[in-house]
Amino acid sequence: MSVLPYLVAVWLLAVGLYGVATSRHLVHLVICLSVAQASTYVLLLGVGYRFPGRAPVFADLPPGTSVVDPVVQALTLTDVVVEATVTAVLLALTMRVQRRFGTVDPDQLGALRG
């Protein structure tokens, strides 16, 4: 039971990659990529959790109490916002593909034409 968060992270990664590989619509592909990215958040937070889980905010805790690791939380929270903007770039590319090739089906976007 103590490896459950890591197993959930591995499962999310596998499921997300399966969705990316078998997708029939580019926006569906982008959403499955978001699911795969969420697996890293779960893994990072799972690694940093320290029993008993007290949030690393000392506004009401006496200094020196053991808290959850704040370093992985710092990495994860910037990551969440940045991935939203990267998703925006991917969606903009999807619109370019639609205008250039007329389809958003990855199976029909085979050849790299100039």
Partner 1 sequence: MTVLQVVALAAVAVTGTATVLMRDVVRQVVVLGFFGLALAVLFLVFAAPDVALSQIVVGSTVVPAMLLLTLVKLHRSRRDG
Partner 2 sequence: MSTGARRALVVAGLAGLGLLAVWAVTGLPDFGHPIGRYGVLAPQVALAKRHVTDAVGGVTFDLRGLDTLGEELILFCAAVGATVLLRAERPGEEEATEESQRVPPRPAGALRALGAGLGGPLLVLGAYVVVHGHLTPGGGFQGGVILAAAVLLVYAAGQLIGLEHVRATTLVELAEAIGAAAFVIVAVGGLVFATAAMANFLPFGTSGSLLSGGTIPVLNIAVGVEVAAGITLILTELLGRALFDDREEDS
Q: Pick from partner 2, partner 1, none: which does 109 bind, CB < 5 to 8 A by kind?
A: none
Instruction: Give whichever of 46 and 113 is closer to partner 1, judged by the CB atom.
Output: 46
Alpha carbon 94 to chain centroid, angstroms: 19
Instruction: Give whichever of 88 and 103 is closer to partner 2, judged by the CB atom.
Output: 88
CA distances from 60 to 50, 51, 63, 107 (A): 18, 18, 9, 56
Instruction: For 68-100, give the DSSP string.
Output: --HHHHHHHHHHHHHHHHHHHHHHHHHHHHHHH
Q: Under the criterion CB under 8 A, does residue 101 sit at the interface with partner 2?
A: no
Candidates 36, 79, 104, 106: give the one binding partner 2 (CB under 8 A): 79
Omega of the bond leading into 52 within 30 degrees of 0 (cis): yes
Which residues here bind partner 1, judged by CB under 8 A?
Answer: 1-2, 4-5, 8, 11-12, 15-16, 18-19, 24-25, 27-28, 30-32, 34-35, 38, 41-42, 45-46, 49, 53-57, 67-68, 73, 76-77, 80-81, 84, 87-88, 91, 94-95, 98-99, 102, 104
